[in-house]
Amino acid sequence: MNLAEWRRRIDEIDRKLVELLNERSRCALEIGKLKQAANIPLYQPERENEVLANAENNNSGPLTDAAIRRLFERIIDGRDGKERNE
């Protein structure tokens, strides 16, 4: 592939990533509603640790596990100040 083709491929992957991140956020918001209805604390550090461990366990590189962990920490924190719902 040439430079333009690689860039088009990245643009398509980015579009899919945005779609998946928004889908993930919608799921987390629904979980938050269920937790509130059941009087369950929104933030559960053990669940966050599980999500991070799952991300690392599914990593086949070339990103390092530490890089994957940082990305997922940002995804989890990226709710404009809303409490974590997963």
Q: What proportion of the chain, given as a percentage, has pLDDT over 90?
A: 88
Q: Which residues contact 75 (CB under 8 A, 6 or more apart)?
A: 21, 24
Q: Is the pLDDT of residue 7 over 90?
A: yes
Q: Is the pLDDT of residue 25 over 60?
A: yes
Q: Which residues contact 72 (CB under 8 A, 6 or more apart)?
A: 51, 52, 55
SS3 5: helix
pLDDT, one tens digit per residue, over 32-69 is 999 999 999 999 999 999 999 999 999 999 999 999 99
3-77, CATH topology level: Chorismate Mutase Domain, subunit A (1.20.59)
CB 50 within 8 A of CB 76: no
